[in-house]
Amino acid sequence: MEIIRRKTDYAIRALIHLALHPHQETTTAEIAEEQEVPLEYLHKILQRLTHGNIVNSHRGAYGGLSLARDPEDINLLDIIETVQGKINMNKCFLGKNGCPRAPKCVFKSKWLQLEQKIAEFISQVTLQDLVDQVRQGGYQEKGGEGEG
């Protein structure tokens, strides 16, 4: 089971694209084509990133998108939570409709510990980190051979 949903994958690719093309308005269509992502779906995803104040949008002719903040100030946790929601380990183990003793439940603390570890790690990775790695050649612009 993958923790990162496809839409989050798309979001990250779009954000890397924006980071690689600063100082210009980039359209959703351009990103969709370059990253080979369904246009209308990408619209939805970018809307969420806009609402999450990760990208800025500009409507109308010659409009488009740009990063709302510096890539160093956008971390992976922001991105993930904005597009796919918070990562939880489990609602609660015991009890049918959510544990009736959640406040006292000792399992819960195990999950919270883990959730926090995950969040901590993910939030330390910034968009800039990813961009740097891309610049070092760690991926190709237009993938799709499906060989890996």
| Tokens (6 digits) for 101 | 């003793």
Residue written as tokens 């612009």? Answer: 141
Any idea what the Cα angle at residue 71 is, between residues 68 and 73, rounded to 5°?
A: 80
Stretch of 21-29, 42-50, 59-67, 123-131 contacting a second copy, by CB under 8 A:
123-131
With contacts defined by CB under 8 A, how many residues of the chain interact with a second copy? 56
* CB hemisphere CA count around 101 (13 angstroms): 8
- 60 near a second copy, rule: CB under 8 A: no
Question: Is the CB of 57 or the CB of 129 nearer to DNA?
Answer: 57
- Residue 112 site contact among a second copy, DNA, none (CB < 5 to 8 Å, cut-off depends on kind): none
With CB under 8 A as the contact rule, the residue among 26, 28, 84, 126 that binds a second copy is 84
- 68 near a second copy, rule: CB under 8 A: no
Q: Is 110 helix (H, G, I), strand (E, B) or coil?
A: helix
- 146 near a second copy, rule: CB under 8 A: yes
Question: Is the CB of 23 or the CB of 86 nearer to a second copy?
Answer: 86
H helix or E strand, kind and range, residue 100: none
* CB hemisphere CA count around 140 (13 angstroms): 7
Q: Label residues 38-65 b or e (16+ Cβ within 10 Å = b).
A: eeeebeebbebbeebebbebeeeeeebb
Question: Is the CB of 96 or the CB of 104 nearer to DNA?
Answer: 96
Residues that bind a second copy (CB under 8 A): 1-5, 9, 12-13, 36, 84-107, 110-111, 113-114, 117-118, 121-122, 125, 129-130, 133, 136-140, 143-148
